[in-house]
Every structure is written in C-alpha cells, then in structure tokens.
C-alpha cells in the first residue's frame, strides 16, 4: 500500500524519510566523530579544517530541517486560522488569536465536524499539540507534510 492509501492516524502520522533521517544523519555524525578523533589524536591545521567542515555540515543538516519545519508551521498556522474562521461558532471566532501555534498544529488533523468542540477544549483546558492529536476521533489526513 502507498502512503496515501493507508489511513493516517495519530500512530502513523509522523513522516520519516529514511535517506535523510537515518542514512544522511548517520553519515554526517560519523564524519563528525571521526574528524574529532583525528584532530585530537593527530593534531594539524588540515584536521582542524576537516573538523570545522564536519561541524558546518551537521549544522547545515540540522538547520535545513529546522527552517523547513518553521515555514511549515507558519503555513499551518495561517491555514488553520482561516479554517477556524469558517467553521467555529461566533464566540470562538472572536478568540482565534488566542490559539498558540502548537495548538493550531494539533487541530489541523481534526475533521471539520469535530473541530469546533476540540477547539473549544483546546482553549479552555490549554491543551498542547500531542494532547489535541490524541483526542481526535475522526482523523483528517495530511499527506503533504515536510
């Protein structure tokens, strides 16, 4: 079955890209460990440069993911505010700005039918992202995650 044919749930909604999350990360961190060992055991200017390059590569790897997730969170925040404005009752629509980004990210998986009730609970009980996701009964899949 492909990703889009498997029903998405709380248990399987996180996305892992094996070549990125497992292979590239392992290679970069192994390179960093080796460069550190080589620099400490046989110090030279060339080995320091190799170590600094290994550190830079790990930083690029980390921030490439962090920046993409940051942009995704901003898009989700906008999408969910628009969705809330369309689906919430008037009393909650007036409070849309009170939702934390973390809550909006959790609410994005709730179906349109259960969103108003869960959105109310999220504000009243100050629910976090994971608690909101666990409370969803009718999961709305998102197959375009970064």
Decide: helix, strand or coil at residue 141: coil
pTM: 0.77
pLDDT in tens, the chain (146 residues): 445 567 777 777 777 788 999 999 999 999 999 999 999 999 999 999 999 999 999 999 999 999 999 999 999 999 999 999 999 999 999 999 999 999 999 999 999 999 999 999 999 999 999 999 999 999 988 877 76
Closest CA to 134 of 113, 110, 117: 110
Please name the residues in contact with 145: beta carbons below 8 A apart, sequence gap of 6 or more.
13, 15, 72
């Amino acid at each position: 079955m492909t990703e889009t044919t498997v029903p998405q749930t709380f248990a399987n909604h996180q996305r892992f890209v094996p070549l990125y999350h497992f292979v590239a990360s392992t290679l970069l961190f192994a390179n960093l460990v080796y460069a550190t060992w080589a620099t400490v055991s046989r110090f030279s200017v060339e080995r320091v440069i190799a170590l600094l390059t290994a550190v830079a590569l790990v930083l690029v790897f980390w921030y490439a993911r962090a920046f993409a997730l940051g942009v995704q969170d901003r898009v989700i925040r906008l999408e969910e505010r628009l969705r809330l404005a369309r689906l919430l009752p008037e009393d909650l629509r007036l409070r849309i700005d009170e939702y934390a980004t973390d809550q909006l990210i959790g609410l994005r998986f709730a179906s349109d039918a259960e969103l108003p009730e869960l959105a109310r609970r999220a504000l009243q009980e100050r629910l976090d992202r994971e608690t909101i996701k666990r409370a969803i009964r009718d999961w709305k899949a998102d197959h375009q995650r970064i």
